[in-house]
Chains A and B, each alone.
Chain A
Amino acid sequence: MEVLIGLVINGLATGMLIFLLAAGLTLIFGLMDVLNFAHGGLFVWGAYTGVFTYLWSNSFLVGIIVAILTGLVLGFVTEKLIITPVYGNHVQQILITLGFMLVLQEMIKVVFGPNGVPVTVPKYLSGSWQIGDLTIIKYRIFIIAVGFALFGLLYFILNRTKIGLVVRAGVMNREMTQALGINIKRVFLIVFMCGAALASLGGMLMAPYTTVVYAEMGMEYAILGFIVVVIGGMGSFQGSLMAAILVGLAGSFMAYYVPSLSVAVNMILMAIVLIFRPQGLFKVAKG
């Protein structure tokens, strides 16, 4: 029983971290119909800038803020330079963002050095609670809480505010939203920046969890993020959350019971979903 609860908590925590990454992707893909393969690059830049300021200032919070700022700035640059020329063309989007991903990843090595950087959990989040035989690591609970909070916030913004409406309208008919007096370019830029900031935040929160940051982590986790977006039904927030939790749980259970399969399980999951339900497992009708 303790093992089971432990595995569930691990799975949920990993799932939430992937959700943060996938949330940005969902926002950018689901709403703006842009496939951003550079997302992992934004993730890893958030992780590095956040971790470096965290180690330098000794404040985890400052690290998080810097990571979010990095995401916003990089999101701005990416949207202006990379995405604007290729709106509406999926093939071009995939090609160009993939190239940008490589550049971002290599730039990490130039700026921060090619070696990984070890990270520890801040004191007030480190340690664990002991309940009977069960050990609950505090940082994981923290991540789960942050994940759910962000999901709630995003859900609220998209479904209950005018901004969410405008974004959805803009995706359906860009020109008409402009003719109704909305600067849709700016709206999309802001959405993109928010998506990038989510990725960077995810990278920063991931760092103490994996205990080390390295340049290639962007690509690795971006693939997980994409798997989640595909399983969740490309563009549905609820779907992404469910899929992220599913992927997290599958990973944690597999790692315990069938370790040799654990790396492959997500790929298999996505392949199956793509074959049998390409619209995603949790796709709900857009209302």
Chain B
Amino acid sequence: MIKQPSLLSRSNIVYTVIVGVLIVLPFVLDSRTMTILLTQFCIFAILAMSYDILLGYTGIISFGHAMFFGIGAYTTAIMLSDFGPTVGIFAASIVVGIVLSAIISVISGALTLRLKSHFYAMFTLAISGLFLVLAEKWRTVTKGNDGFTFRAPELFRERLYFYFLVLICLVIVFILLKRIVASPFGKVLIAIRENEQRTRSLGYKTLGYKIIASVIAGVVASLAGSLYVISLRFVNTSVLTMDITLDALMMTIIGGVGTLIGPIIGAGVIEFAQHYLSGLARDYPIFERWIIFFGILYILAVIFFPRGIVGTISSSYNGWKLKKGQKKTVKLIEKEEIQQ
């Protein structure tokens, strides 16, 4: 299972096609709104993937994921407005955000990841709540709920360039995370998700693994936050609210937990559906409450399709394939790849 499938495996072809479509799409659609929407989609896909590392692979529920997103967002926004809008400062701000997120996730993980799942959930809720309060009260730096605008680096003011930067980030993060979850380290995470006690009795120091998983997730979320504020050129405390965490959660669940590609698809479904539903709201006010639809979809997913869009499709696809009797080992490896 650690063996990587060959470069030309079916899933790699699918991924390449998807990336190809994402490259071409802004030229085909050729509208500013669409480019912005695609940018948003890529950013939230990164965030949702980071959440999947926690929820899908390690079985940890965090209610504080917005905290890391917010740290990245504020670090980038503050550094760009204080030190000038250059690409160098932007890159530096990403690094600073990542380091901050890593430190905070190590601390909070070391303190509470040894506890049961719901304690960690509550703890992250409290800590991220504190960050939100902090951001609201520390007005000299954050301007509180009003937020502040800032200048993005010259290069990224061209929407298309920025979109490609975000897309590249998405691809790189996807490949890196895919490597991580396919590595022996990733297998241990999955083992922890399935049965932490047994994993511990096999001699793994599960706490350490869980902390590293939370650091990876925090760091990637911070990157997503940094990119997010560039697309808005504005930041306020909304980046730290529970809504961000809930978005990541819904995208992961609806797309398919523990698949990495699932959260990307979930992000796509939610971002685009949200866009069109709020368009519909002009005619049908019920669609202003689009959250209801996602909420119901999400509940149904948890009950009936606990593996989300991707998990459900891939298992029925594989079931159909097995029925046809084409049981090639390569494909079985692939199946495991997808289903993890």
Contacts and interface: CB of A to CB of B under 8 A. Distances in A.
Direct contact between A and B in the complex (CB less than 8 angstroms)?
yes
Contacts of B137: 260
A260 B111 CA distance: 26
A271 interface: yes
B291 A264 contact: no
A35 B292 CA distance: 21
A94 B61 CA distance: 8
Interface in B29-68: 59, 61
A275 B122 CA distance: 11
Given A91-B59, A109-B289, A103 B296 contact: yes
A98 B246 contact: yes
Interface stretch (B83-91, B127-135, B147-155, B179-187): B127-135
Interface in A217-242: 219, 223, 226-227, 230
Interface in B278-318: 286, 289, 291-292, 294-296, 298-299, 302-303, 306
Contacts of B306: 92
Interface residues of B, number: 37
Interface string A245-280: 000000000000000100110011011001100100
A102 B294 CA distance: 9
20 contacts: A90-B117, A90-B118, A91-B117, A95-B302, A96-B299, A96-B302, A102-B246, A102-B292, A102-B294, A103-B292, A106-B289, A219-B242, A226-B122, A230-B119, A263-B133, A264-B129, A264-B130, A264-B133, A267-B126, A270-B123
Interface of A: 35, 82, 85-86, 90-92, 94-96, 98-100, 102-103, 106-107, 109-110, 219, 223, 226-227, 230, 260, 263-264, 267-268, 270-271, 274-275, 278
A235 to B, nearest CB: 12
A246 B226 CA distance: 39
A274 B115 contact: yes
B295 A103 contact: yes
Contact of B123 (A92, A96, A107, A271): A271
A109 B59 CA distance: 33
Contact of B298 (A86, A99, A260, A278): A99
Contacts of B296: 103
A271 B115 contact: no
Contacts of A86: 302-303
Contacts, number: 96
A94 B299 contact: no
B112 A267 contact: no
Nearest to B292: A106
B253 interface: yes
B117 A107 contact: no
A91 B253 CA distance: 12
Given A94-B121, A270-B126, A110 B115 contact: no
A35 B118 contact: yes
From B111, B127, B295, residue with most partner A Cβ within 10 Å: B295
B3 interface: no
